[in-house]
Structure 1
Amino acid sequence: YSESEINSLMDKYGMRIIIENNYDYSSISFTTFNKYFNEVLDVASDMLSAPLFADKNLEIVRKRMIDNIKAKEDNPDELIWLKLNDWFFRDHQYISLPDGYVETVSNISGNDLKKHLEFLTTNNRVVISIVTGIPLKSEEKIINDKLSFMKTRENWKKIIPSPYKEIGRDTIIYSDKENLETEYVACKFMIPSVTDDKYIPARFGLSILSKRIYETLRTKHGLTYFAYMAASDKKVNYGVFYVSTTYTDSAISLFRQEINKFKKEGVTQKEIEDLKNIYETSFYMNNEKSVERSFTNGYNFMIYGDYNHNDKFMKRVGKMKPREITAVLNDCLKNYQFMILK
């Protein structure tokens, strides 16, 4: 299909195409009504098996990607994470950004893209997830025929990134940017991989700490309008702390005080119960959306080897206890790598 034909079919079938890049995976999702499933499957098969990568379209995408890369470098909220990533993963494969760099995007060709796509679709690097209201038995042969160009072996293997060499101390790095009206503080520290059973209590605990940090820095001391902690969701994983403020030293000092308080007192059962409600609401809302379920099923199989991982995640959340969160995070809350942009 040509670009104009695909645009016309998107309108005709109510088709949406969503693309995402990440450190551990890339995804492309096609969404339509049940009654147009076969037609959209045909479009998806054509786009993935015989993409045109026309020079004109490639240049449009190239310009858009370069503009986005430059925009991140101009935005201090984005720039600080780029700089911190360069330091934090300086000896690791995650130092390479999923969106690329001006130099790499400028030089990539249509032939490069075709070769890479062929590599992915013929070397057990693709997981296909389909959510539909149509009975699978009636569509199974059509699906297998349309996607037969994806030649896979019997045993699909998860790709495991190389381990990260942790720095055994706190580090503070300063970087300058002209015309800033405030300073920006970003911090990373290692936490268990998403494939580790300890990840769930670590993520849960950091969500609780995030609320405490915000209340301390924003509500009690008025040092910022925005502060948070969070857990990333990568195979080689990290937690984060962020604040924008004109009182950097005070903000970092209060951050450390809250961490020390947590290590002594832990979390309460009430904090856990309140957060469970938020997790459950988000889980059931996302589960209602076909595009979310399709992506999640594929992601879970690719990362965990189990498409039903989310249900097990929620059962695990339901059994969470304060002592478990405290024990896991006490092992993680150390060796902070700070980047201060001023």
Structure 2
Amino acid sequence: MLNSRDITKFGLLVIIQLSWINFASHLGAGNGSVTTEEFFVKDLKVVLKANTANEIISAQLYLRGGALNLTEENQGIEEFIFNSVTLADRKYAEKSWNKILQGTGSGLGSISGKDFTVISLQCTKQYFDQMWEVFADYIMKNSFYDERTEIARARMLTQIRRQEDTPDVYIRKLAEEQFYQGHPYQLDPMGIEESISKITMKDMESYLKKNLKKTKLLLVVVGNLDKEVLRKKVSDTFGKISKGKYKPVFPDPVHHTRSNLKVVERDLPTNYILGLFSAPSPKNPDYYPMTIAIDILKWRLFEEIRTKRNLSYAPDAFLENHFANYAGIYATSVDPDTTVKVMLAEIKKLRAEKFSGKDFRNSVNMYLTRYYLNNESNVAQGQFLARFELAGLGWQEGEKVVEKLRMVTAEDVQRVANEYFKNIQFVFLGKTELIDEKVFTSM
């Protein structure tokens, strides 16, 4: 499914990541050594995965808290801050900033999400010294100026107002609003029109002063880089940040007691269907069997809905990685009722049937093949380590993922399917005369 993170929240870095995966195929030849370790630099935690197999370096600085940092009034403030910083007329004017990035083939950007904000740098080792200076300046020298801040505000407001123009973005927004209703994650890290219109430069400066603390930060670096070189870089730049007293806080999981349907009338060439349901987070041992269960459902939906019935071009099932997590099913179709009936029938089948040992192992092995491919790049490896560290499990948990996925049994998959594949919160976007609401809420 093409979701709002892909288009809106993660647009810049998804493009960067895809290009760097391709780039890595040219630079990543050879059998280099790989070691992962953690250390503190003046109270800032650093995780370094030193990989001598290629010349790409990925540095990711995470600001913990995500939606838990926000209020109704300042939704989107972290996204606004770092959008403004990229435009700020400080050491680098915007043209010279872009010239440096283009001239070195580097990437620099930020993402604000439900769980955290991340500022990310990708460059080759050849340009690391120069790009680290830009990276540090981007984070540390956060002065705001009227003209540049207003440009960033205008861009964000335009993006927010255009969400309804792209059905995939709009239905994801509607679905998350419905799923997280009454939960801290109902606040939007990308901002809403009312909040972005009112946030001031003083608000942003105060917010950074309060939240940019070492105890709230995590730096993850992956690439061909010496530990002592990195230690000095961090000390000379981020060493100036005050320590703070932040202790990680995690949101409660979301629970729904029945299925629901939100209907939005739109005269569209096709109809959009998205259903979200509660899922275990990476902190929960059920995350591993849930991963396999969703992958099996994904391919069954493709077979039954597209291949056999031609009801939808790209039906999907997916699992997110949030601390208050959800999974989902998605399709576009001119025959929405029939499509949903097939979706729910496949879920019921997954909950009821016994898998054969060989077929189940094949499903796990197919997933692991894609898992390896998806985590080849240094960017992806850094994100992976950070996910478990930020979840409070330690980055070392990421080293055990393949082992834990291999330990998943068919009985585990059936168990989590029965526990989680229910009380689906559906959103329908399209021609409402084509649907029977009881079909959506029948399970």
- TM-score, normalised via structure 1 length: 0.90
Task: Tell me if the contact between 2:283 and 2:393 (Cα under 8 Å) persists in the aligned partners.
Answer: no
Task: Tell me if the contact between 1:69 and 1:101 (Cα under 8 Å) persists in the aligned partners.
Answer: yes
Q: Is 1:18 aligned with 2:92? A: no
Matches within 5 A, 1:224-263: 224-263=312-351
The structure-2 alpha-carbon separation of the partners of 1:185 and 1:112, relative to structure 1 and needing over 3 Å to count, comes to: same
Q: Which residue of 1 aligns with 2:440?
A: none
The structure-2 alpha-carbon separation of the partners of 1:253 and 1:279, relative to structure 1 and needing over 3 Å to count, comes to: closer
Partner of 2:114, secondary structure, is coil
Q: Which residue of 2 aligns with 1:95?
A: 186
The code of the aligned residue for 1:106 comes to S
Q: Is 1:328 aligned with 2:419? A: no
Gaps of 5+ in 1: none
Q: Which residue of 2 aligns with 1:341?
A: 429
Q: Which residue of 2 aligns with 1:314?
A: 402
The structure-2 alpha-carbon separation of the partners of 1:272 and 1:253, relative to structure 1 and needing over 3 Å to count, comes to: same
The code of the aligned residue for 2:306 comes to R
Q: Which residue of 1 aligns with 2:250?
A: 160
Q: Which residue of 2 aligns with 1:171?
A: 260
How far is the alpha carbon of 1:54 from its aligned partner?
Answer: 2.6
How far is the alpha carbon of 1:322 from its aligned partner?
Answer: 0.8
Taking the aligned partners of 2:112 and 2:348, their CA distance within structure 1 comes to 36
Matches within 5 A, 1:31-42: 31-42=122-133
Give a deviation string over 1:99-122, Cα, whole Å, max 9, x none. 111221222223322222222222
Partner of 1:174, secondary structure, is strand
How far is the alpha carbon of 1:236 from its aligned partner?
Answer: 0.9
The code of the aligned residue for 2:134 comes to V
Q: Which residue of 1 aligns with 2:171?
A: 80
The code of the aligned residue for 2:334 comes to T
- TM-score, normalised via structure 2 length: 0.71
Taking the aligned partners of 1:131 and 1:339, their CA distance within structure 2 comes to 39
The structure-2 alpha-carbon separation of the partners of 1:19 and 1:267, relative to structure 1 and needing over 3 Å to count, comes to: farther
How far is the alpha carbon of 1:173 from its aligned partner?
Answer: 2.6
Aligned residues: 339
Taking the aligned partners of 2:366 and 2:185, their CA distance within structure 1 comes to 30
Q: Please identify, of 118-127 and 233-242, the stretch whose mean Cα deviation from structure 2 is larger.
A: 118-127
Matches within 5 A, 1:104-253: 104-122=195-213, 124-152=215-243, 157-164=247-254, 166-177=255-266, 179-253=267-341
How far is the alpha carbon of 1:22 from its aligned partner?
Answer: 1.1
The code of the aligned residue for 1:332 comes to Y
Q: Please identify, of 113-122 and 24-33, the stretch whose mean Cα deviation from structure 2 is larger.
A: 113-122
Task: Tell me if the contact between 1:120 and 1:126 (Cα under 8 Å) persists in the aligned partners.
Answer: no
Taking the aligned partners of 2:315 and 2:380, their CA distance within structure 1 comes to 28
Gaps of 5+ in 2: 1-90, 431-443
| Percent of residue pairs bearing the same amino acid type | 24
Taking the aligned partners of 2:347 and 2:397, their CA distance within structure 1 comes to 30
Q: Which residue of 1 aligns with 2:151?
A: 60
Task: Tell me if the contact between 1:17 and 1:30 (Cα under 8 Å) persists in the aligned partners.
Answer: yes
Task: Tell me if the contact between 2:253 and 2:323 (Cα under 8 Å) persists in the aligned partners.
Answer: no
The structure-2 alpha-carbon separation of the partners of 1:319 and 1:30, relative to structure 1 and needing over 3 Å to count, comes to: same
Task: Tell me if the contact between 2:292 and 2:367 (Cα under 8 Å) persists in the aligned partners.
Answer: no
Q: Please identify, of 207-216 and 37-46, the stretch whose mean Cα deviation from structure 2 is larger.
A: 37-46
The structure-2 alpha-carbon separation of the partners of 1:219 and 1:294, relative to structure 1 and needing over 3 Å to count, comes to: closer
Give a deviation string over 1:18-77, Cα, whole Å, max 9, x none. 321210011111122224333322222222121233322222222222222222212222
